[in-house]
Amino acid sequence: MLEQKLKPIKVCIINDSNLMRKYLSDLVTSDEIEVIFTAIDGEDAISKINLKKPDVILLDLEMPKMDGLTFIEKMIKSEVLLPIIVVSSFSQKGTKIVLDALENGAVDFVTIQSNTNEDNNLKEILVSKIKIAYKSDPYQLIQENICLLKPNPKKNQTSNTSERLVVIGSSTGGPSTLQKILNDLPRDLPAGILLVQHMPKNFTKQFALRLSENSGFKVKEAEEGDLIKDGEILVAPGDFHMIVQPNKKIHLDCSDKRFGVRPSVNMTMISASEVYGTNLVGIILTGMGHDGGFGMKTIKKRGGRTIVQNKETCVIFGMPKEVIDLKSADFVLPLNKIALKISEEIQNLVR
């Protein structure tokens, strides 16, 4: 009697990058695993899942329209509960976003390096986790992963660091908009300020100098190891992501672009939210694209406050609209009221 061949595990891949969808599909496809469909974001996936019924989901976190955390939340509330493995470059030890995903219903995670050529063991790891997830009960989360990911509470805080932080992201129309906001902010604001303006390298240094000359603030292009201080403004250098480290110093990162941009507002906001938590105010101004939406959602989730520029005063309403669509805007304000609201929120943190 011939042995019956086992049916392959049906997998779906949710990732906004066409390159990454193909890469992961090629990586896991075998006689044992079949990629039955891919989706560009959570919204796209939900429309397909009921029809195609996958066994396991490979999920990115940072996506437009519906990000990975929102997708997990919706899946948990639905009648279709499937094992979800987070596959993301955010999946690093100590990253609280992964904790969120695991605690909300994902069963496991896999780290993707910024350079996929470095993922020598990724195929073996991913295939193994897919097989385990297929046999798992999504209701019973893998608690040991949560324990492994919990960050070390011992942090080497440096003296003279700011206890409160403002992170502002902008793109098209941003330079003049930022200048207006800085002109209206009090010079003795008891918070550090980080600016992420989509701008090529060799421009951001002069941009910072001009802001400094015209605003009265101390503004400089960020350098590796810069300390975040009250009343001082650091501008993300072109072609580098500006990351906030636990010691409240800046790390400049040249990993892959996010949504086609580097510096990425998301990268700065996500790292800042993990360090500053409730002592953080995020602002998204005029600009095209999706960058900043997921970052603002993360700030709000950590208890920070979020402000976006309204449509009527934006040159391009793309970035603020993304935040609003993700239901992550505490305040939607015209340009001439944003500085006052920033100051009010920071003063509320001081009290």
3-state SS assignment for residue 172: coil
Is residue 41 among the annotated active site residues? no
Angle subtended by helix axes 293-301 and 265-276, to nearest 10:
10
Is residue 198 among the annotated active site residues? yes
Q: Which of 41, 44, 198, 264 is catalytic?
A: 198
- Are residues 249 and 155 in contact, defined by beta-carbon separation less than 8 angstroms? no
Q: What are the percentages of helix, strand and coil residues in the chain, rounded to 5?
A: 40, 20, 40
Q: Which of 41, 44, 60, 291 is catalytic?
A: 291
3-state SS assignment for residue 154: coil
- The span from the first CA to the last CA of the chain, in angstroms, equals 78
3-state SS assignment for residue 283: strand
Q: Which two tokens stand for residue 222?
A: 């960020």
Q: Which of 88, 89, 171, 271 is catalytic?
A: 171
Q: What is the DSSP string of 195-233?
A: EEE---TTTHHHHHHHHHHHHSSEEEE--TTPBP-TTEE
HSE of 101 in the Cβ direction (CA atoms, 13 Å)? 30
R_g of the chain computed on alpha carbons = 21
Kindly report the number of other CB atoms within 10 A of residue 78's CB atom: 12
Q: Mention every residue, 6+ apart, whose C-beta is less than 8 A from residue 95.
A: 149, 274
- Are residues 245 and 271 in contact, defined by beta-carbon separation less than 8 angstroms? yes
Nearest to 165 by CA among 281, 249, 303: 281
Q: Which two tokens stand for residue 259?
A: 């949504």
Q: Which residue has the tokens 């700011």?
A: 162
Nearest to 223 by CA among 211, 208, 215, 210: 208
Q: Which residues are known catalytic residues?
A: 171, 198, 291
